[in-house]
Each structure stands twice: as structure tokens, then as C-alpha cells.
Amino acid sequence: MSSDSQVARAADGRTLTFAEWGDPDGLPLFSLHGTPNSRFARHYDESIYAEAGARLITYDRPGYGGSDRHPGRRVVDCVGDVAAIADTLGIERFAVTGGSGGGPHALAVAARLPERVSRAACAVAPAPYDMADFDWFEGMDPLNVQEVGWALEGEQVLVPELEQEAARMRERVAVDPADVLGDEWGLPESDRAELARPERRDVIRQDVNESFRTGVWGWADDDLAFIRPWGFDVREIRIPTRVIYGLTDVLSPAEHGRWLAANVPGAEVVAEEALGHLPSPDVVAERVAWLVRPARS
């Protein structure tokens, strides 16, 4: 099954564009994309979801792809949007996962919809910003630090900078999707190897182009949401949750993962010694299998 341009309505009437992949009769699993990404951010081999028994649902966060912008949104505001899509599909119970910028959003859904969420996973995600006794920038690539600096200066500075970044990204992807981030990032070899996989090319190109189809508003609003109060506390979470991080990650450094692991109650912690920000195919398969396990036991 692949239905990649469905529409739901948020409570305030905004359009939410979503897609489905995998087994239509499988356990519903919401996968919340990173920053910047779109509903097309997925494993290049979609059969991985069907084989695990997962009905994967992805959607464009507000301002990305086909979803209307939600100015001033907080991380927690995704909860209502996920619920609206689930209601549109007639789904009552589901699992949720999010990677990178999708991680905090997955934790928000886990915290605020415990009666509907069976399991949750948060991978390579940032911790809340501006916490006492926590150096948010330690181990982070200078280009990521620069982007956060733009966000701290406000939308009027952030948006023009991201527009230039998005234009350069689209130009690089048109030539070689493996070069999506360029050469300036200090990525570990594991991440560069994953980006270089030929199988990833079509998905990267499709995802990047859709991410910025209506501008960089989704990217900007994500960045702004991360440096503001998230609107919930990760300590609220009471459902089975995995916190995953890579020890060589320079986008969401390991200290962020350690903080989340220590503060999500009862979290199952997975520290990937050999991985950075991007998972290998076999890791993805295991993670999906873990998320759907409750409905298949």
C-alpha cells in the first residue's frame, strides 16, 4: 500500500497532508519526520514496514509540503494534529516514533495521548533548550550552532538564512542526493556512508523537494519551537518508550540523548556506539518491529 497525498483537517481548519506505507492491515505507526523533512521521509525499501506488520503513517508538519502553516506553534501542538489524522482514518490506537526534529514531537504525543499510544520511540533528538546545568551546544557541529543562533535572533533573521540554505540544498540534491548536506558538516563516517547509499537517492530527492515546496516555514517554525518551552514535560510520559541516540552524532549530540534517557520515566535506552544521526537499514527494521510488538504478541 502506498497512498502519499491524503488530507485531514486540524481542529482549527488547517490542512494536514499525510501518507501511508506498508501493511494496510498492520498496527498503525505514526512516524514524525525530522527537520527539515516531509511526509516522504521514509525507509527506501517500503517492504520493511509490511514485513514488520506496520501501517506507517507520515505527515507534513505545518508549513512543510502540503500542510498549512501554524505560526507560533509549540512542540506540543503536534498532538492535536496527529489525533486529527488518526480520527480521519478511524484509528483509535497507534504507536508513534520520531527521529531528529521529530523526536520531541513523538514524545509530546506519548505524553499527552497515553490512552491512544501503545509504544513510542524517540531517536537522535534534541533535549529541551535552555536548561540549568546543561550545555546544549556541547559536541554540536558549528553549522547547527549557527542555525540555532539565527533562531535565537528571531524569525526575521532565521527565515532569509534558511531560504538560502534550502536553495543550496535543492541545487545539491538535483546533482547528487548524497550531497544533501554538502561537505562543510563534520558528519561521522557512518552518516556519510548512509547518505551515499544509491538506494536512498530517490527518497532524498523527493523528500527535499517536497519539504520546501511552499517555502521554509516548516523548517523555521520547527527551529523556533525547539528553543521555546515545548508545552509539556517529558516526565509526564507513562507508556513504554525508547530513547535512542548515537555516540558519534554531531547534530543531536549524545549528551542530549543521555538527558532524555534520564528524564523519560522508565525509558528503554539504546545508545548506538557505532552510529551517528542516521540509522542503518537493519537498525530500522528492528526499531519498527519493537514498536509494533504489543499488537502482535
* All structural domains of the chain: 2-296 (3.40.50.1820)
Q: What does pTM read for this prediction?
A: 0.96
Distance CA 58, CA 105 (A): 13
Q: Supply φ then ψ for residue 228, to 5 degrees.
A: -100, 170
Q: What is the pLDDT of residue 282?
A: 84
C-alpha cell at position 255: 549528551
Distance CA 294, CA 70 (A): 34
3-state secondary structure of 90: coil
Q: What is the pLDDT of residue 295?
A: 46
Q: How far is CA 122 from CA 88, 98, 202, 288, in A?
A: 25, 5, 25, 12
Distance CA 239, CA 277 (A): 25
Q: What is the pLDDT along the chain (297 residues), one digit of tens a residue?
A: 447 899 999 999 999 999 999 999 999 999 999 999 999 999 999 999 999 999 999 999 999 999 999 999 999 999 999 999 999 999 999 999 999 999 999 999 999 999 999 999 999 999 999 898 999 999 999 999 999 999 999 999 999 999 999 999 999 999 999 999 988 899 999 999 999 999 999 999 999 999 999 999 999 999 999 999 999 999 999 999 999 999 999 999 999 999 999 999 999 999 998 889 999 888 999 999 999 986 444
**Counting Cβ atoms within 10 Å, is residue 72 exposed (0-12), middle (13-18) or buried (19+)?**
exposed
CB within 8 Å of 191: residues ≥ 6 apart = 276, 277, 278
Amino acid at 156: Q
Which residues lie across from 27 on neighbouring strands?
54
Omega before 36 within 30 of 0, i.e. cis:
yes
Q: What angle do CA 79, 159, 127 make, to 5 degrees?
A: 45
Q: Would you list the DSSP string of 236-251? A: G--S-EEEEEETT-SS
